[in-house]
């Protein structure tokens, strides 16, 4: 039944599907080994796409890979802020597409990890200003230079989504254990071209709540979406602190969230890393305090 | 103080099962609304079966899905003009069987209803392309119903 659904929805989604198969420069393909292009998408906003893109990019760079993270959220860029690179952005994706500057002029290099680069989105433009085929070409160009091209997709299923998806060969679907987020993920899965390889990340899981039966489990979520599970990310206060500072959460020592992102990156590199069952680590006193409404969680 | 005690002793409702159930229902309705061609094909096949036993008023007909409180349901309101006689049903079945045999020989997909009616349906199917989807499956479905044993012609 899910397969049938995908079939149908693929046909409906043919506009983006068709443009994904644009004829690409065949001579270049023969000469250069292309990197992997992966879009991080969710449909719903606020589920952690940008955080996921930033942290996976950083973790992959730590593993020695050359990585570019692309902010496809034209008009509402945020990847620069999450990475703490907002002061270094001068040119952007649309400048490159409109040939106002070169690729290298727009790319921003990370302060710490020299093999991690950011392609910022334009902030003063709109998503409809980006033509799909130009976006596909840009991603292709980046694939020639980087081992990983991670594309941070905007929320929604309109032009911005289609632009983010057009050059991608793989997709990471980010969702949270909430009815609205899973519903939107299901919709997005149906809209993605069939050739794209799909993986699922369930973000913002609160193991204590799952145990109590007050939050859907990862199994509940994936019983509906039925995707290859790439990882589970627990919800944690560290993520807010990391975002405040503009450092990726993987750099915060002892962070469970950071550790989860590092494991996901290793799985992306083909390593077999088991997904732990995040037990409720809080001790008895903290648990009682939080039951009384006195705790901080 | 009572609030405090209530909070201490209250067990939170296990709302995850409620979330699961709501999600299941909302996704069923999403998926149906995303696949109108499949819905039309299903409706067409259902009507093919009904027409063999009943005279239906197609203009007064209403078939849709409803997302009720706890159940996702297919609601059908199909006005019946007349119930066919045993003879008419037997005749239709006979014609259908012969057509099917002919189909197998010619290996040509078609719809198992009397010829006159079939022409009319074809015309409508052409106007409404999705209805014409998978005619061979349609025949297969009819065959399955025949095998399940429709009431034997009596008298």
Q: What is the pLDDT of residue B12?
A: 60
- Shortest Cα distance from A219 to chain B (angstroms)? 11
In a domain, A297, yes or no: no
Strand, coil or helix: what is B27?
helix
Q: What is the pLDDT of residue A176?
A: 97
Cα angle, residue A257 at apex, residues A252 and A263 outer, rounded to 5°: 100
Strand, coil or helix: what is A59?
helix
Average pLDDT score, chain B: 69
pLDDT in tens, B18-74: 999 889 888 888 887 777 788 888 889 999 999 889 999 988 888 888 776 667 788
In a domain, A126, yes or no: yes
φ, ψ of residue A23 in degrees (nearest 5): -65, 125
Q: What is the pLDDT of residue A223?
A: 93
Q: What is the DSSP string of A252-272?
A: STT-HHHHHHHHHHHHHTT--
Q: How many domains does chain A have?
A: 1
In the predicted structure, residue B10 carries a pLDDT above the cut 50: yes
Helices (H), B10-85: 16-33, 36-51
Strand, coil or helix: what is A97?
helix
Q: What is the pLDDT of residue A4?
A: 43
Element (H, E) at A91: none
Q: What is the pLDDT of residue B119?
A: 37
Q: What is the pLDDT of residue A8?
A: 41
Q: Which of B13, B31, B41 to mutate to test the interface with A (most CBs of A within 10 A)?
A: B31
Q: What is the pLDDT of residue B96?
A: 79
Q: What is the pLDDT of residue A106?
A: 97
Q: What is the pLDDT of residue A210?
A: 94
Helices (H), chain A: 2-12, 14-20, 26-31, 49-62, 79-82, 93-97, 103-106, 132-145, 159-166, 179-191, 207-212, 218-225, 238-245, 256-268, 284-291
Contact B30 A183 (CB under 8 A): yes
Q: What is the pLDDT of residue A40?
A: 98
φ, ψ of residue A11 in degrees (nearest 5): -60, -40
In a domain, A296, yes or no: no
B129 and A CB contact within 8 Å: no
In a domain, A123, yes or no: yes
In a domain, A52, yes or no: yes
The CATH number covering residue A186 comes to: 3.40.50.300
Contact A54, A83 (CB under 8 A): yes
Query: 10-residue block means of pLDDT along chain A (297 residues)?
Result: 43 40 48 91 96 98 98 95 94 96 96 96 92 96 98 96 97 97 95 95 95 94 95 93 92 94 98 84 60 55
Contact B19 A216 (CB under 8 A): yes
Could you tell me the residue range of the domain that residue A205 belongs to? 2-291
Contact B16 A220 (CB under 8 A): yes
Cα A138 from Cα A192, distance rounded (Å): 19
B139 by Cβ neighbours in 10 Å (0-12 / 13-18 / 19+) ranks as buried
pLDDT in tens, B103-152: 666 654 444 444 443 333 333 434 443 333 334 443 444 444 444 444 44
Q: Which of B3, B19, B40 to mutate to test the interface with A (most CBs of A within 10 A)?
A: B19
Q: What is the pLDDT of residue B93?
A: 82
Q: Are strands A148-152 and A67-71 parallel, antiparallel or unpaired?
A: parallel
In a domain, A283, yes or no: yes
Complex ipTM: 0.71
Beta bridge partners of A205: A234
Contact B14 A212 (CB under 8 A): yes
CB contact residues (below 8 A), chain B span 25-54, against chain A: 26-27, 30-31, 34-35, 37-38
Q: What is the pLDDT of residue B65?
A: 81
């Amino acid at each position: 039944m899910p397969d049938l659904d995908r079939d149908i929805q693929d046909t409906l989604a043919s506009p983006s599907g068709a443009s994904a198969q644009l004829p690409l420069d065949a001579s270049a393909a023969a000469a250069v080994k292309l990197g992997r292009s992966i879009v991080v998408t969710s449909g719903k906003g606020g589920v952690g796409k940008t955080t996921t893109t930033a942290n996976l990019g950083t973790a992959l760079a730590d593993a020695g890979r050359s990585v570019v993270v692309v902010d496809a959220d034209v008009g509402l860029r945020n990847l620069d802020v999450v990475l703490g690179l907002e002061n270094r952005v001068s040119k952007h994706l649309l400048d490159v597409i409109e040939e106002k500057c070169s690729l290298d002029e727009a790319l921003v290099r990370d302060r710490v990890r020299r093999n991690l680069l950011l392609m910022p989105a334009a902030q003063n433009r709109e998503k409809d200003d980006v033509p799909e085929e130009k976006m596909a070409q840009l991603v292709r160009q980046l694939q020639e230079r980087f081992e990983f091209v991670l594309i941070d997709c905007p929320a929604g299923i309109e032009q911005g989504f289609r632009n983010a998806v057009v050059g991608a060969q793989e997709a990471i679907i980010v969702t949270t254990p909430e009815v609205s987020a899973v519903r939107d993920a299901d919709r997005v899965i149906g809209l993605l071209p069939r050739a794209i390889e799909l993986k699922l990340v369930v973000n913002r899981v609160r193991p204590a709540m799952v145990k109590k039966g007050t939050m859907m489990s990862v199994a509940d979520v994936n019983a509906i979406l039925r995707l290859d599970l790439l990882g589970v990310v627990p919800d944690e206060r560290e993520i807010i602190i990391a975002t405040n500072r503009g450092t990726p959460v993987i750099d915060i020592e002892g962070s469970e969230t950071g550790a989860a992102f590092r494991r996901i990156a290793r799985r992306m590199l083909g390593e077999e890393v088991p997904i732990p069952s995040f037990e409720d680590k809080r001790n008895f006193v903290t648990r009682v305090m939080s039951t009384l409404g006195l705790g901080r969680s | 103080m009572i609030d405090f005690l209530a909070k201490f002793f209250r067990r939170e409702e296990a709302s995850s099962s409620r979330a699961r159930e709501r999600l299941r229902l909302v996704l069923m309705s999403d998926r149906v609304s995303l696949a109108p061609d499949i819905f039309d094909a299903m409706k067409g096949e259902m009507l093919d079966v009904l027409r063999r036993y009943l005279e239906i008023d197609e203009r007064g007909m209403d078939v849709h899905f409803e997302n009720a409180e706890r159940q996702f349901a297919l609601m059908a309101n199909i006005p019946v003009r007349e119930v066919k006689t045993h003879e008419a049903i037997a005749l239709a079945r006979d014609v259908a069987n012969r057509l099917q045999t002919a189909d197998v020989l010619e290996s040509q997909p078609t719809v198992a209803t009397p010829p006159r009616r079939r022409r009319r349906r074809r015309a409508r199917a052409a106007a409404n392309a999705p209805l014409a989807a998978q005619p061979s499956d349609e025949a297969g479905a009819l065959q399955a119903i025949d095998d399940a044993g429709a009431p034997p012609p009596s008298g």
